[in-house]
Structure 1
Amino acid sequence: MTPIPPDVHRSYWMQTADMPSSASLTSDAEADAAVIGGGIAGLSAAWELCRAGLSVVVLEARRLAGGVTGHTTGKITALHTTVYDRLRTEHGEDAARLYAASQSVALHRILEVARDLGTDCDLERRPALTYCEEPDGVEALRAEAEAARAAGLDASFVTETGLPYPVAGAVRVEDQAQFHPLAYLRGIVEDLIARDGRIHENTRVTEVDSGDPCRLTTSAGHTVSARHVVVATHHPVFDHAALTTRLTQHRDLVIAGPLPSRRDPEGMYITREGGKRSVRTTPLGDGRRLLIVTGEAFTPGTGEDTEAGYARLRSWTQERFPGFEESHRWAAQDNSATDGLPLIGRMRAGGENVYVATGFAGWGMTGGVLAGRLIASLVTETEEPWAALYDPGRSGAALGSAPAFLKTQWDTAKHFVKDRLETVGEGTNGPVGALGAGESTVVRAGGGPCAVHRDDQGGLHAVSAVCTHMGCLVAFNNGERSWECPCHGSRFDVDGEVLQGPAMRPLERRNPADLDLDGRPDA
């Protein structure tokens, strides 16, 4: 087993998986299908399409699985907190059954692929549990257990778990799984390449023309012609169907550290209490496992103190797992559709041959594999029975979730206007001259908002504070040293380079020498 590297600020999965590297696209290309995005959804779609006999090219803006997939917790389960009681209430019992069946198919697809490819990905069968510590949460979990069982899962309500602390109750579903997600995808990539699939990293697609064939243009000016295009970029960056208005973003903090195997809680656990807490382990060898704890959910771009969030998560973990010492920490970003169901299928307004996969609501391991299988079935005209459930153009999807939809729009409009009114005077975190190491502020400079960060060596980094996606103002994440947009979740490093879309262009750099260190407003 690979030893834990010393860099605590990176995902354990990314540190310990030797993902194959691929050259960027350097010339025009053609394929039956072009997949934009190299996470689990994009790679699963590419692999399924390649197996179906299509020529495939994958275009990834940065590194394979380096985004959301590389920062997951790696649970493979059809139990998604309390989704089934809500589904049968809002969408009907048939929807709940289809959801359970499709998520279970994705789970078994992972097991099947790992077995057939001989992939060593620390795959383990474990029960999944949604629990509560407070008695007032028991009634909801009893209802969820009944709804999940009615939907077809092997679900039960229990009061005893493998956790080292008492719970008031839990929904338990047997025979779920967990794995090393990047080790699993390494097997997918190797098999995809063996089947003559093409992969190009560091190749950002900036435009999609949905003609027949479709025509993709990269930031380097090269083009790819393809009959079918899959947009698997987490947030749909080519949003012809206005899917942005139906998605909300959130981030979760993750900490991890070694645990003696004898203290393994032997399951995958999650609760919505206390800002969400998720607990699982993965094997390290030498009689140890890595305890992975997730929580402190927040909306990116709101300027929350993420360092304080990490401290709260660490304190919670040390209280329940005495002796815990953090060896890794990272954060994950997820998006959710306003009606609670992923958006997988034809983008509709983007053209009949453009497909999208998004809105997995934190359950991207089964969601991404399901998306690959579903999109491949649409392309080959062998539709799955649950295609309509996830169809991005499903009837009433936005209207049926009107309160959530309207709140999303209001939050975006609020940030667009309110942030500009507040970005005056001495800045959002005081004047530039008063910034200490690791601190940031947003000030007026040169007639516009300027995002300024002072690094640990005392140097200043200055960029435009206007997100290049739709113009909202970014705020600083002090735990990850990144600028984030509160409207649609785009993320940038301190020099403005894109870390996460939907933004495709970096923040414009500013000259720190031109800043007023006292923070006086522009004349």
Structure 2
Amino acid sequence: MLAGTRESYWMDTTPATTYPALPDDIEADVAVVGGGIAGLCTAWELTEAGRRVALIEADRIAAGVTGYTTAKLSVLHTLIYDRLRTSFDRDAARLYATSQQQAVDRVAELAARLRIDCELERVPAYTWTESAEGVPRIRAEADAAAEAGLPASFVTRTGLPFPVAGAVRVENQAQFHPRKFLLALAEDLTRRGGRIFERTRATGLHEGEPCTVTTEHGRTVTARQVVIATHYPVFDRALLFARLQPRRELVVAAAIPAGQDPGGAYLTPERNTRSIRTAPYRTGQRLLIVTGEHFTPGEGDPAQRWERLIGWTRERFPDAEIGYRWATQDNTTTDGVPFIGPFHPGAGNVYVATGFGGWGMSSGVLTGALLTAYLTGAAPAWAELYDPRRLGLAREAGTMLKLQAKVAGHFVGDRLRPSHADSVDDIAPGSGAVVRIGGQHCAAYRDRAGEVHAVSARCTHLGCLVAFNDAETAWECPCHGSRFGIDGSVLQGPANRPLPPVHRE
């Protein structure tokens, strides 16, 4: 049995929201699809700018990827600055640093202005290496980050309870409670006249003047402009799925004595990534939050990965008492920079935000500022860097080819396998497997009472076969990251339709 409650600390320590579902066809200046940090910040910024905004969310706001983040507010995104000045240019690195730091500062500004108690703390951020072989890369990153205008330096001493060979340190970063911040922002949004509709899944988009967003119950939102902020775009006309790679990552949270707080936000790409931060907790304690063990949804063994992450946490912090564990998911673009801007080359009124690469807090806040600037006609100097219409073949070709080869391998190879289990009878209680029922690939799960729940194994996004994640009791698509419940319900896009049930004879 894995240690810790299987829930996000952010979700566990904030109330559930109860915004209504869309009751009728409505009109707005801007329709925002998606109620995570990117959608909520965009809706708030646009409302403050005087736009009539309607936000629709398939489930509950700030309860998807945003509710399961580690909530670092940092411009130090692993080793991005040296890569940017090499694959783009030095100006791109500078613009990235400027825009991301503005987003970090925007959270602090809004928290103070709106008097939001979101446990905001200013801390330094570090990217570290424990190996001598990794030091040159760390030194290069420190140099590139400083050249980009950040208060960055190379250090060999940190607050971690173990030695490092070297680290990049960037001052004046932050960490916060994302749900406390965003739920307060949502309340202020509605006070200003913005509208939020939960349990309202978008299933169709008509681009025009005006645009129309259709929902699963047939109701519509008609708007002059539309923002798609659904983490992974739920509409495929821009073909961004060919340039986005989904990544799932595990999180554990543990109580430690307050005196053992390492005093910063830390990350290393080594050991399949290890990320560390803390948060206020009980009297005399801090909550240590450790992230790592990233993998493609539908691949690998999450339970085994959780054991490794828990083991590493206890090894490095022997007094840690594991209290929570959860998983998060994000998408990385083929050139490593988010897509924020016009949805596709022909888009006149539709905008998108995706591909945050694990750094959704700063990039989500940045999205609000950038898309509001687009929609009000005053795009900043760094807009071009994030423009989804860019295509640098020299930067992206290799990654795109590898990504599509992997997708093709699953799409074809998974079908050539005769079965993932011989029959439903082979599935143990509490387990799931892909089997053939009546010649059809089916995703079958046997619950603890012995009842079998069977749905189509064909992902409703682009048709890849799903695989079972036993640690989270979910079906996952290894091609583009869609996730489904055992009843076929959509847990995470880009799919926006459930897996249909299969009736066993």
The one of 371, 377, 396 aligned to 1:401:
396
CA deviations over 1:303-327 (Å, ceiling 9, x no partner): x111101100011011010032211
- In the TM superposition, what are the counterparts of 1:64-79 in structure 2 within 5 Å? 64-79=61-76
Cα offset, 1:11, TM superposition: 0.6
- Contact 2:42 2:368 (8 Å CA) reproduced: yes
- Contact 1:467 1:474 (8 Å CA) reproduced: yes
- In the TM superposition, what are the counterparts of 1:464-503 in structure 2 within 5 Å? 464-503=456-495
Question: Does 1:224 pair with 2:259?
Answer: no
Aligned length: 503
CA deviations over 1:190-212 (Å, ceiling 9, x no partner): 11010010000000111110110
The one of 335, 338, 341 aligned to 2:337:
341
Residue of structure 1 in register with 2:202 after alignment: 205
SS in 2 for 1:18: coil
Residue of structure 2 in register with 1:313 after alignment: 309
Cα offset, 1:241, TM superposition: 1.3
Residue of structure 1 in register with 2:19 after alignment: 22
Question: Does 1:101 pair with 2:94?
Answer: no
Cα–Cα, structure 1 residues 350 and 306, in superposed 2: closer, same or farther, change >3 Å?
farther
Cα offset, 1:288, TM superposition: 1.0
SS in 2 for 1:502: coil
- Contact 2:460 2:498 (8 Å CA) reproduced: yes
In structure 1, what is the Cα distance between the partners aligned to 2:165 and 2:451?
51
CA deviations over 1:463-482 (Å, ceiling 9, x no partner): 11100000000001111111
Residue of structure 2 in register with 1:3 after alignment: none
Cα offset, 1:447, TM superposition: 1.8
- Contact 1:126 1:178 (8 Å CA) reproduced: yes
Cα offset, 1:398, TM superposition: 4.8
The one of 127, 130, 136 aligned to 1:130:
127
Amino acid at match of 1:329: R
Cα–Cα, structure 1 residues 350 and 56, in superposed 2: closer, same or farther, change >3 Å?
farther
- Contact 2:38 2:368 (8 Å CA) reproduced: yes
CA deviations over 1:435-480 (Å, ceiling 9, x no partner): 2222221111122101111222322211111000000000011111
Moved more, 29-38 or 11-20: 11-20
- Contact 2:62 2:183 (8 Å CA) reproduced: no
Question: Does 1:509 pair with 2:501?
Answer: yes
Amino acid at match of 2:434: V
The one of 82, 89, 92 aligned to 1:92:
89
SS in 2 for 1:112: helix
SS in 2 for 1:274: coil
CA deviations over 1:318-338 (Å, ceiling 9, x no partner): 101003221111001010110
Cα offset, 1:434, TM superposition: 2.5
In structure 1, what is the Cα distance between the partners aligned to 2:476 and 2:358?
19
TM-score under structure 1 normalisation? 0.94
Residue of structure 2 in register with 1:370 after alignment: 366
- Contact 1:230 1:356 (8 Å CA) reproduced: yes
Amino acid at match of 2:360: G
In structure 2, what is the Cα distance between the partners aligned to 1:288 and 1:320?
17
Question: Does 1:140 pair with 2:149?
Answer: no
Amino acid at match of 2:436: R
- Contact 1:254 1:293 (8 Å CA) reproduced: yes
Cα offset, 1:19, TM superposition: 4.9
Residue of structure 2 in register with 1:181 after alignment: 178
Cα offset, 1:301, TM superposition: 1.5
Cα offset, 1:430, TM superposition: 5.0
SS in 2 for 1:510: coil
Question: Does 1:351 pair with 2:351?
Answer: no
In structure 1, what is the Cα distance between the partners aligned to 2:330 and 2:346?
23
- Contact 1:105 1:370 (8 Å CA) reproduced: yes
In structure 2, what is the Cα distance between the partners aligned to 1:459 and 1:19?
31
Cα offset, 1:106, TM superposition: 0.4
Residue of structure 2 in register with 1:149 after alignment: 146
Identical pairs, percent: 55
- Contact 2:4 2:325 (8 Å CA) reproduced: no
CA deviations over 1:408-430 (Å, ceiling 9, x no partner): 111111111000001x2xx3245
SS in 2 for 1:400: helix
Cα–Cα, structure 1 residues 331 and 414, in superposed 2: closer, same or farther, change >3 Å?
same
The one of 458, 463, 473 aligned to 2:455:
463
The one of 437, 446, 457 aligned to 2:429:
437
Amino acid at match of 1:393: R
- Contact 1:158 1:171 (8 Å CA) reproduced: yes
SS in 2 for 1:270: strand
SS in 2 for 1:341: coil
The one of 380, 386, 389 aligned to 2:376:
380
Cα offset, 1:259, TM superposition: 1.0
Residue of structure 1 in register with 2:115 after alignment: 118
Residue of structure 2 in register with 1:418 after alignment: 413
Residue of structure 1 in register with 2:328 after alignment: 332
Cα–Cα, structure 1 residues 350 and 258, in superposed 2: closer, same or farther, change >3 Å?
farther
CA deviations over 1:325-377 (Å, ceiling 9, x no partner): 21111001010110111000011346211000001000000000001110000
SS in 1 for 2:307: helix
Moved more, 25-34 or 502-511: 502-511
Residue of structure 2 in register with 1:517 after alignment: none
Cα–Cα, structure 1 residues 350 and 205, in superposed 2: closer, same or farther, change >3 Å?
farther
In structure 2, what is the Cα distance between the partners aligned to 1:14 and 1:350?
39
In structure 2, what is the Cα distance between the partners aligned to 1:416 and 1:350?
29
5+ residue gaps, structure 1:
1-5, 515-523
SS in 2 for 1:282: strand
Amino acid at match of 1:249: P
In structure 1, what is the Cα distance between the partners aligned to 2:392 and 2:451?
48
Amino acid at match of 1:433: D
Cα–Cα, structure 1 residues 350 and 59, in superposed 2: closer, same or farther, change >3 Å?
farther
In structure 2, what is the Cα distance between the partners aligned to 1:369 and 1:114?
13
Cα offset, 1:270, TM superposition: 0.5
**RMSD of aligned C-alpha atoms?**
1.3
- In the TM superposition, what are the counterparts of 1:272-287 in structure 2 within 5 Å? 272-287=269-284
In structure 2, what is the Cα distance between the partners aligned to 1:159 and 1:440?
47
Amino acid at match of 1:211: G
Moved more, 235-244 or 73-82: 235-244
Cα offset, 1:7, TM superposition: 7.9
In structure 2, what is the Cα distance between the partners aligned to 1:122 and 1:138?
34
Amino acid at match of 1:469: H
SS in 1 for 2:169: strand
- Contact 2:33 2:227 (8 Å CA) reproduced: yes
TM-score under structure 2 normalisation? 0.98
SS in 2 for 1:97: helix
Residue of structure 2 in register with 1:159 after alignment: 156
Cα–Cα, structure 1 residues 19 and 384, in superposed 2: closer, same or farther, change >3 Å?
farther
Question: Does 1:361 pair with 2:357?
Answer: yes
